[in-house]
Amino acid sequence: MGFSVKEIKDLMDKMQQTGLGELEVEDEGYTLKLSAKKAKKTVENVMMAPAAPVVSAAPIAAAPVAAAPAAPAAAADDSEEAKKEESSKEEEGTVVTAPTVGTYYAAAGPDKPPFVKPGQAVSKGDVLYIIEAMKVMNEIKSEMDGTIGKIFVKNGDPVEFGQPILTIV
């Protein structure tokens, strides 16, 4: 039977949207290999994890800040320090990571409100977000009580296994 042109174009579009570098599909004895020239990342080994959220106990460190130019040193240092303090305060807490590769969705549908927002209180068992993997919608639930700190990804973004999604403080 093989692959139709529409199926191949759909696969190519999905590869471009997700940044997937290579894809190999077999169907009834036919093998299709696709490879993108400018892939964002190469995935060597892909393992599907259970749909339970993975929570890292260690807070993530603030990103390094580039050194300020020497001329306006006093004003720049104050500004950089203030940004550094804000950044570290926002990133405190427990980081909730993606349990699988897929697409992040903040809400149950495009016309629905997001499950959580920064500053919102959550309880153990509350739905935090959805990850779509292979057309399966996986609800990711909170494993603790707390308040949503920072959300690192945007609705519809592709995510990788272990990628930080949000913090709970």
The whole-number pLDDT of residue 81 equals 54
In a domain, 117, yes or no: yes
Residues 74 and 137 both lie in one domain? yes
Residue 14: give the domain boundaries.
5-35
pLDDT in tens, the chain (169 residues): 566 778 778 878 887 777 777 777 777 777 777 777 654 444 455 454 455 555 544 455 544 555 544 444 444 455 555 544 444 444 578 999 999 999 999 999 989 999 999 999 999 999 999 999 888 899 999 999 999 999 999 999 999 999 999 999 9
The total number of structural domains in the chain stands at 2
Burial label for 24, CB within 10 Å (0-12, 13-18, 19+), is exposed
Please give the model's pTM, rounded to 2 decimal places: 0.48
The whole-number pLDDT of residue 37 equals 66
Residues 62 and 12 both lie in one domain? no
In a domain, 24, yes or no: yes
The whole-number pLDDT of residue 106 equals 94
The whole-number pLDDT of residue 2 equals 66
Residues 64 and 115 both lie in one domain? yes
CA dist 94 to 47, 60, 105, 131, 158, Å? Answer: 24, 8, 20, 19, 22
Nearest in space to 120 (alpha carbons), one of 56, 167, 62:
167
CA distance 7 to 169: 44
In a domain, 63, yes or no: yes
CATH number of the structural domain spanning residue 98: 2.40.50.100
In a domain, 45, yes or no: no
Residues 24 and 62 both lie in one domain? no
